[in-house]
Every structure is written in C-alpha cells, then in structure tokens.
Chains A and B, each alone.
Chain A
Amino acid sequence: MALAVVVLARTRNLFAVVVLSGLYSFLMATVLLALDAVDVAMTEAAVGAGVSTVLLLGALHLCKSEEAKPAHRPWLPLALASVTALVLIYGAMGLPDFADPQAPIHQHVVPRYLQNEVDVPNVVTAVLASFRGYDTLGETTVVFTAGAGIIALLRRPGRRARVEEAPPCADLLLRLIGKLLIPFVLLFALYVQFHGDYGPGGGFQAGVIFASGIVFYALIFGVENARRVMPDRLVERMIAAGVLLYLGVGVAGLLLGGNFLDYFVLDPDPVHGQHRGIFWVEVGVLITVCGVMLKIFYMFASRGRGEERG
C-alpha cells in the first residue's frame, strides 16, 4: 500500500495516478476487512475503489491527462509534511497498545451498544441509524449538498439542443449479458439494503450499487435510453426526496410526542418502533445516494459530448 502511494506521488501520468489510487483503496478495503470492519471495508471498496475511480476517470476525460512538471521546489511542503508526521508520531506513541482490551474506547460507551437494545444484530447499523442517527442525517445532507452543488456548478446555461446520440453499443452478446445481469445487480442492491440489519450493508452501499446498475445500463444501451428510464427531473427529485424522508422520520418522532429522530414512539412497541425508524431512514439514504450518483453520471456524460476534448 505504501509502495502504491510512493509511486503515485512520483508519477505524472494522471491515468496511472487514478489507477494507483484505485488500487490503494482496494488494498485499504482489504486491511479494513482484516480489522473486522466489514461495513467500512464494503463501503471503501464500493466508494474508494469504485465510485471515486469512475469519477476521477470521468473528470480526466474532460480534462487533460498529463501533469505538468512541478515548478516549485518541494522543500516547503516537505517540511510541513514532516512536522505533521512528527506531531503524529509524538501523539501516537502515547496511544493505548494495538488490540488492548483495556483501552478507554473498549471500556466506555461501547458496552451498551453491544447489548443490542434495538434488536438489530448488526451493531454498526444500529449505532449508525439509531444511536447516532443524527450524524447519519448529517452525512446524507452532505451527499445532498454535493449533489445539488454539482448541479449548480455544471448546469449549462439555457436548455441545450439535444446532442446527437452516439449509437448504443451494438454488440448483441453484450446487450444480452447486460439484460441478464442488470436485474440481478438491482436485486443485489435491494438485498444489501434490507439485509443491512443482519449483515454488512445499508442504505449507502445499496444506493451506490443500485446507481451502478443503472450506469451499467446506460453504458450498454446509451445514456439517452437510461434517461428515459430515469429522467433527469426524477433523479433531481430523488436527491431531495431522500433527505426529506429522513427528516420526515425525525419530525414524525417529534409529532408523536418524542424527541427529534425518536424511533421509540413510532410504534406502540418501542423495539418495533426502532426497526421501523431504521428501515425508513435507510430508504431515505438509498434514495438520496442513488439520485446523486446518477445525477453526477448524467452531468459528466453530457459534458463529454458536444465539446472538444483536451
């Protein structure tokens, strides 16, 4: 992993850089898996190795792919980085030992999470959606912000004329495989979504997978066809609707006499109420994440055409 980073810092071909950073993310996901962080590993693999690589490649497609020779001497950044390293090492040396069960993080706060009060076996999901559900609301809002912000930045002034669509991929075999595979990708997304209570997964990962299913469709059958299935306007509504759904669950808690994001009051049986709250909240996350991913894809795809490439 360290090697990948070193090479990365020295390479000037940006394509190589992007591929290396994908590799780096993938290695990181493996390490995370070894550290028992299954949910995180899954997300890192999907996001770091998948989405961000695609995004970077998309952006490179719109920009040029060779980095200029650095004009400055690297001493100042090097000095800054070294100072940071020294402070980090200084601090890290005083941290509790690796895998020390007596460390404060294992002694404080966490034991209650492991008691499974909300009856959701995947503790990560329980903490994410219930105990610290407000953080997750913030996270969904960050995704929403990025999505809406990218719309604001990349929107073309005025409605542009429809660009002549490149003929969709004509390879019969590819279309056949696509037709067969895409339903399963979408189905798998839903599995990840609803199985999140028991195994790794949840709204965010499912949203990414769902969106990639549709992107897959767009790549094989053409973006315009995909737009017919998932029109731009709908995608933009999805971005907002997901956050609203999440907030709605929170406000429902308020209206039913609890605090904000209080799931206990959503059902006469508190534990059942928790389940209901977690379920809808995760659906909200799915909708927003999927919407944002698709929107970004459409944005980058429509930029690529009708414009000279660098």
Chain B
Amino acid sequence: MIEHFSYIVTVFLMVAGLYVVIARGNLIKKLVGLSIFQTSVYLLYIAPGKLIGGTAPILAPQYGIYSNPLPHVLILTAIVVGIATLALGLALAVRIREVYGTIEEDEILALDHQVEAAQEPRGEQREEKGA
C-alpha cells in the first residue's frame, strides 16, 4: 500500500479536479478545476520516474543514477498545453461575460432559452419587413 501512496494522492487530486469541472456552474471555477485535473496528471507521469538515490537528470561525472528524464519532457509539454487551454478558456469566459453579462452556466442557458422562445415571432416580423 505504501508503494502506491503517490498514486493514491494523484487519484484524489485528479478526481477532485474533475468534480469541480463537472459540478460547478461558474465558468472561471470550472477552468480552475480543469487546471487542477490536468496538473494532477503530471504526478502520474513524474512520480514513477523517480529512482531512490537518483538525482535530477543533468549529467555530471559525480552521479551515476538519474531519475527518468522522458516523463519530465512530456510533462513540460503538457504544462504548456494546459496553460494555453486555460488562457483560451479565460478569453472565452471574458467574451461571454461581455455579451451575456454573466459567467454562470445556468444563467447563460436560461438566457439562451429566452432567446429561442422569443425568436419565433421576431422572425416573422422581420420577414414582413423584408417583404
């Protein structure tokens, strides 16, 4: 069980992040949850790369054992991808806030339904004007 401790922590963080993404209606909070979900995946990759007695993978004559560099490379890429997604998501949230006046998912849905309900008569009016 002890050997798998790091995995347990990872799993907990991941699931908590996932929960926040799905359960919360606030657009920005969803994004925070998403980034926690993504961050916890880093541990899944990095933790197994560690070797007892190993050092960081920067080669020097006095060390013999190095931790595995490949996961580090992958996760560097993943971090960058994560932040790019976050930035884009925030930009979307800001735009949504500007046009809807809210960043709560439920309120946005409600506004959309209003528009759809109102569309029918308005469409006809426009048609008449066009003719």
Q: Which residues of A contact B (CB under 8 A)?
A: 1-2, 5-6, 8-9, 14, 17-18, 21, 24-25, 28, 31-32, 35-40, 43-44, 47-48, 51-52, 55-56, 58-60, 62-64, 67-68, 70-72, 74, 76-78, 80-82, 84-85, 88-89, 92-93, 95-99, 101, 103, 105-106, 109-110, 113-114, 116, 121-124, 127-128, 132, 135-136, 138-139, 142-143, 145-146, 149-150, 153-154, 198-200, 204, 296, 299-300, 303, 310
Contact = CB atoms under 8 A, between A and B. Distances in A.
Contact of A63 (B28, B33, B66, B80): B28
9 contacts: A35-B50, A40-B72, A95-B48, A98-B5, A99-B51, A114-B59, A121-B58, A121-B60, A132-B73
Interface stretch (B102-110, B112-120, B123-131): B102-110
B77 interface: yes
Contacts of B93: 59, 63
B51 to A, nearest CB: 6
Contacts of B47: 35, 98
B59 A123 contact: yes
Contacts of A9: 16, 19-20, 33
Contact of A121 (B14, B17, B59, B95): B59
Contacts of B79: 40, 43-44, 47-48
Interface string B75-113: 111011111111110111111010001011011000000
A106 B68 contact: yes
B42 A56 contact: no
Contacts of B3: 97-98
Contacts of B58: 38, 121-124, 198-200
Looking at chain B, what size class is its interface with the partner chain?
Answer: 35 or more
Contact of B76 (A97, A142, A143, A204): A204
A48 B39 contact: yes
A148 B92 CA distance: 13
B73 A143 contact: no
B85 A146 contact: yes
A133 B42 CA distance: 20
Which 10 pairs of residues, A with B, have the shortest CB-CB distance? A146-B84, A77-B23, A36-B67, A77-B22, A92-B7, A97-B3, A123-B69, A123-B57, A59-B90, A67-B26
